[in-house]
Structure 1
């Protein structure tokens, strides 16, 4: 039960940060899809870095165990394409859809409904996917540090350095171009 409470609190905090980071806004979503506004990219990359450092710190302290899922390139490629298609069609990713619904944007319900339908279709197709798509490029339960034979902190240091360089480039790029002007969704 305590795991559910932690999950709920984490979800509420993530939704709060999505809202405060302004990544729920339609112009930010469309700007990200058009590679014209990098607010969402910077927001998510910041969260990935904090989570990566936090998880491995807790792991090194013996407070958590890693639950590594298999790396299956076929599933990742097709799932990524479906995710991108859904995001492009409705203007929401899963986290922003739920947070936007919580903010009172009823159009987000369509995105959530689409995700639920997609999950149901995946469950129905799973027996077939298990013997086809989910075997393409199956590398098993391996992490990048394991594949490279290096410490996870070495990989984290490289990822943080690359992220900081990307942040710098994105900030520089955004400072040299005019602001993106888009129509707002009703109620924004």
Structure 2
């Protein structure tokens, strides 16, 4: 059943990616050049909706929200590599799959890079695990845990700040 939920969620996410037009190459390049905030607005909306839903289910006792390990030695180079790949190809992996689904052949080559990168990563993982992935381990706190406050004291102000930021971005045509 979990696979069915994953399939449904993936289809819905792909639908919304396409509907928001964030899989268009010009939107991707505009985001990288900070000239079009459509992708940032789409992703922040998805993150906020997920955050509210997850913490609400946590409050109901249906799930347990836990932080993931924050390892700077993995996050910094991984984020840089992700950004370089996005800049070179014009798609991130998620939007690449959606663009390929629309028939955009250029996304195919980017996705080949994803698979090649995954293969290389699997080959060097033992080395990375014992070296780079040991640097800067900050544990696995969530932001509310790190600050020692109830999660809603973070979520509600964050929603307000993001909504105001969206309004400002719309006002300046971004």
Tell me, in whole angstroms, the C-alpha distance in 1 between the residues paired with 2:165 and 2:73: 28
Give the alignment's TM-score, normalised by structure 1: 0.88
User: What's the counterpart of residue 48 of structure 1?
Assistant: 47
The residue correspondences of 1:10-89 to structure 2 (distance < 5 A) are: 10-89=9-88
Tell me, in whole angstroms, the C-alpha distance in 2 between the residues paired with 1:173 and 1:125: 45
Tell me, in whole angstroms, the C-alpha distance in 2 between the residues paired with 1:133 and 1:158: 35
Task: Count residues in correspondence.
Answer: 174
Tell me, in whole angstroms, the C-alpha distance in 2 between the residues paired with 1:7 and 1:90: 27
Deviation at 1:25, TM superposition (A): 0.9
Deviation at 1:44, TM superposition (A): 0.6
Tell me, in whole angstroms, the C-alpha distance in 1 between the residues paired with 2:126 and 2:119: 13
Which is worse superposed, 32-41 or 68-77?
A: 68-77
Deviation at 1:165, TM superposition (A): 2.3
Q: Does residue 164 of structure 2 align to residue 165 of structure 1?
A: yes
User: What's the counterpart of residue 101 of structure 1?
Assistant: 100
Q: Does residue 111 of structure 2 align to residue 112 of structure 1?
A: yes
**Could you report, residue by residue, the CA deviation over 1:165-188 in whole angstroms, capped at 9, with x for unpaired residues?**
22122112217xxxxxxxxxxxxx
Deviation at 1:67, TM superposition (A): 4.7
Deviation at 1:82, TM superposition (A): 0.6
Which structure 1 residue ranges, 4+ long, deviate > 3 Å from structure 2?
A: none
Tell me, in whole angstroms, the C-alpha distance in 2 between the residues paired with 1:156 and 1:41: 18
Gaps of 5+ in 2: none
Deviation at 1:46, TM superposition (A): 0.6
Tell me, in whole angstroms, the C-alpha distance in 1 between the residues paired with 2:7 and 2:57: 20
Tell me, in whole angstroms, the C-alpha distance in 2 between the residues paired with 1:59 and 1:103: 37
Tell me, in whole angstroms, the C-alpha distance in 1 between the residues paired with 2:64 and 2:84: 34
Tell me, in whole angstroms, the C-alpha distance in 2 between the residues paired with 1:72 and 1:172: 38
Gaps of 5+ in 1: 176-188
Give the alignment's TM-score, normalised by structure 2: 0.95
Tell me, in whole angstroms, the C-alpha distance in 1 between the residues paired with 2:78 and 2:160: 28
Which is worse superposed, 39-48 or 125-134?
A: 125-134
DSSP-derived class of the 1:104 partner: coil
